[in-house]
Chain A
């Protein structure tokens, strides 16, 4: 698979500002990712992730704020617990938990966004495509 598609859910505070910072620095990135801004990483429903995987997206990234740094009183902590269970389910069915990436960050770590996207692309290239049972 040489053209993996990534869907990124970025939390409005740290995730999106980090992504913006990468844009302001005009860092060059591969073009096959789309960013959906959400209020908090806790708002990302697992059903939306599963729908995206079924719809042809190869990898999903959820960017949230650091633990202890969520302005909604640690809502990102709930999100991470849920994602751990989803990773189990993806592993069971063989889709692979490396298609789901959850990252904590802060708004001024702009090099982080670049690293995440590029590393994720490199990883997804090595994975086999999802079985065409869809």
Chain B
């Protein structure tokens, strides 16, 4: 897979389809770092491991480059989805971006609890079927069970938060400046570990329809809070109710944004708690 990727990248640079290739390089001190390869000779140092989310960095590179600079990004499944979401949100112009898609191995999919460990445009590597996160033991601990126990479990993990903002900084979708999480109205400054519910729930809800389940937030957290699990049930609701998944198509916007009725409009079913008068014994 590595050789094939190097050849594709060399070809792109020689055909002048892009001005630079964005990937990982093993540098002269044997350390892996992200690098923009503009010279085909440098591509010998290209590596594909470890998993490194390049979407947000790519956005930064394109922002600070001249207007017609074309960048080709070597991306895994989650990276490609993040890039598509950024295109949807007008942060990256579609014409300036190319992707070289690589697939993840089954071991990597098991570590990330990913159910789609391959990009839609796959150039190198073999597709593997992912894992269903709801079957995993660690996830079931936090998502299944009675309310009081679950609340206690989440309270125990969220208590550890030190408000380092690592989750927000590493998330490829979090691009707002200024950010609501730094606003006194919502999150009080200088109070640790109080008011965690506001910080985490606001962040989790803002990502409800754009989270691509890349796991960057979890990996960035210094105290190992399982932040990905907060998003899983919302992603499942969107998939089941509207058939929508974030990051698959740059033209389809989130269904939560429009008030229009999906056709046909009379057959929409609403859950039982939405009605004017509720029966007392309905629980």
Contacts and interface: CB of A to CB of B under 8 A. Distances in A.
B16 interface: no
B259 A78 contact: yes
Contacts of B233: 88-89, 91-92
Contacts of A80: 270, 274
B81 to A, nearest CB: 19
A89 B230 contact: yes
A105 B255 CA distance: 24
A134 B188 CA distance: 12
B276 A133 contact: no
Interface stretch (B37-45, B107-115, B163-171, B194-202): B194-202
Interface in A68-93: 73-78, 80-82, 84-86, 88-89, 91-93
Interface stretch (B49-57, B66-74, B121-129, B141-149): B141-149
Given A47-B205, A109-B276, 13 more contacts: A47-B180, A84-B241, A85-B234, A86-B208, A88-B233, A89-B230, A92-B229, A93-B230, A94-B147, A95-B151, A116-B276, A119-B278, A130-B197
A85 B273 contact: no
Interface of B: 142-143, 147-155, 158-159, 180, 185-186, 193-198, 201-202, 204-205, 208-209, 229-230, 232-234, 237-238, 241, 255-261, 270-271, 273-278, 280, 283
Contacts of A93: 150-151, 154, 197, 201, 230
Interface SS of chain B = helix
Given A85-B209, A133-B159, A78 B202 contact: no
Contacts of A53: 197
A47 B186 contact: yes
A85 B198 contact: no
B281 to A, nearest CB: 10
Majority SS at the chain A contact face: helix
A115 B280 CA distance: 9
B69 to A, nearest CB: 37
A34 interface: no
Contacts of A123: 283
Interface of A: 42, 46-47, 50-51, 53-54, 73-78, 80-82, 84-86, 88-89, 91-96, 98, 101-105, 109, 112, 115-116, 119, 122-123, 128, 130-131, 133-134
A114 to B, nearest CB: 10
Given A112-B276, A122-B280, A85 B148 contact: no
Contact of B261 (A46, A77, A91): A77
A94 B153 contact: yes
Nearest to B151: A94
